[in-house]
Chain A
Amino acid sequence: MNINLTLIGQLLSFAVFVWFTMKFVWTPIMGALDTRRKEIADGLAAAEHGQHEQELAKERAKEAIHEAKGQAAEIINQAQKRASEIVDESKGNARSESERILAAAQAEIEQETNRAREQLRQQVAELAVLGASKILRKEINAAAHKDIVEQLAQQI
């Protein structure tokens, strides 16, 4: 148990160990601990932020779905309306077309009838004149009685 040079040796090695620990052991480990502490804090903050974002997104999605549903219903409504309009329109078109065709046919029929009647009248007049002239060959001068024959033909 002598106090001797060992004292100074121990003092020096103590100083070296403390210096080494401070420089190469404590500082890096403490740095890592601080970094981790910060990372955890950041992570927690990010998680909280994410949760908040998710809630907002949910809200937004709900809104979007609601809006989309409304739009879809509106589009279906419009389509149905348009379809019935088209049906009505085509019905109307068909009706007017048929009427038009009918009218044209009737007009043609009338025209034909009139023409036939005119022809008939002409032929009857000629036949009458021919008959009359055959009957009255001698007594009647075709030229002299032309106006009477004409009158007759007119009356038919």
Chain B
Amino acid sequence: MAGDTLTSSEYIKHHLTNLTYGQHADGSWGLAHSAAEAKEMGFWAIHVDTMFWSILLGGLFIYFGKKVADRVSSGVPGGLQNFAEWLVEFIDNSVRGSFSGRNPLVAPLALTIFIWIFLQNLMDLVPVDVIPHLAGAIGIHFMKVVPSTDPNATFGMAIGVFMLTLYYSIKIKGVGGFMGELTLQPFSSDNAIVKLLFIPINFVLEFVSLIAKPISLALRLFGNMYAGEMIFILIAIMYNAGVVLGLFGGVLQLGWAIFHILIITLQAFIFMTLTIVYLDMAHNDH
């Protein structure tokens, strides 16, 4: 809840600032004490909260994954194994449905993306003030707990996927084939000169669509999660506006959280499915 000394806009801004570690203007290294200070740190700074939560959640995932994998048996599955198998089969079916090539990387990649994004998004359902307040109690002033509301996290994954699509495009089709895909379509002609003329036009069109893939992938997730988080923050402000509005805000928060369960799952699923589709396109000649 917003402190007495904070205005609503300060409260929102406070909630949307990452815990940033970097070089201060005076040359010393340390945590930024305000949003403006964090901005001044430029590229060579790191969002400690985003890194911490995402690695913690990813670590949880691979810890339980490894635990299941170590005990996995082809006999009657127990509780955790049952759940893991259900997930694995769900991902496997999705991959089989949209990915026509053979690549042992794609299914585990899809699983990692789905679970990691889902867990990151799930942090959105923790009431917005709980963890920042706990962090404040131990002297940490900024704490953004949902890594997928940080564009660094979503772009990190999207660029990872983009690099994989580039790698497999070039590996499967060769440099020539990949360049041809970029320059010889959608416009083509039998006349060599016209074909040559079309190359820059095609390149511009294809390059934009190529670049649009990772950007749309990252921004879709970021936008949805950021907006969801923003609404939670706005609802939280209502708690300060008296009992009636506060109760109303409680109902709203519950409603939005229930609706958000759908969104976080859907966004994780969309990210995963698009990753599979992009990789499938990288594996297929047109």
Query: How many A residues touch the partner, as a band?
Result: 20 to 34
Contacts of A18 in B (CB 8 A): 105, 108-109, 112, 160
Interface SS of chain A: helix, strand, loop or mixed? Answer: helix
- A4 contacts B69, CB within 8 Å? no
Known: A1-B151, A9-B46, A29-B72. A22 touches B104 (CB 8 A): yes
Interface string of A25-38 (1 = CB under 8 A from B): 11111111101100
Interface string of A1-40 (1 = CB under 8 A from B): 1111111111101110110111011111111110110010
Out of B112, B152, B157, name the residue touching A4 (CB < 8 Å): B152
Do the beta carbons of A3 and B152 come within 8 Å of each other?
yes
Q: How far is B54's CA from A26's CA once the two chains are assembled, in angstroms?
A: 20
Contact present for A7 and B85 (CB under 8 Å):
no
| Inter-chain contacts of A1 with B (CB < 8 A) | 16, 150-151
Residues from chain B with Cβ under 8 Å of A30 in the complex? 88, 92, 107
Contact size class for B?
Answer: 35 or more
Residue of B nearest to A38 (CB): B74
A3, A24, A27: the one within 8 Å of B155 (CB): A3
Any A CB within 8 A of the CB of B156: yes
Measured between C-beta atoms, what is the minimum distance from A109 to chain B in Å? 102
CB–CB A11/B69 < 8 A: no
Q: How far is the CB of B20 from chain A (nearest CB, A)?
A: 7
Inside 8 A of B68's CB, which chain A residues have their CB?
25, 29
Could you say which residues of chain B place their CB within 8 Å of the CB of A6?
18, 45-47, 50-51, 150, 152-153, 156
A65 to B253, CA, bound (A): 80
User: Which residue of the partner chain, among A11, A17, A26, A35, contacts B107 with CB atoms under 8 Å?
Assistant: A26
Give min CB distance, B40 to chain A, whole Å. Answer: 10
The stretch of B1-9, B55-63, B174-182, B243-251 that contacts the partner chain: B55-63
Bound form: Cα–Cα A17–B50 in Å: 16
Cross-chain contact B88 with A11 (CB below 8 angstroms): no
A residues near B, CB below 8 A?
1-11, 13-15, 17-18, 20-22, 24-33, 35-36, 39
B residues apposed to A, CB below 8 Å: 16, 18, 20, 22, 38-39, 41-47, 50-51, 54-55, 58, 61-62, 65-66, 68-70, 72-75, 84-85, 88-89, 92, 104-105, 107-109, 111-112, 116, 147, 150-153, 155-157, 159-160
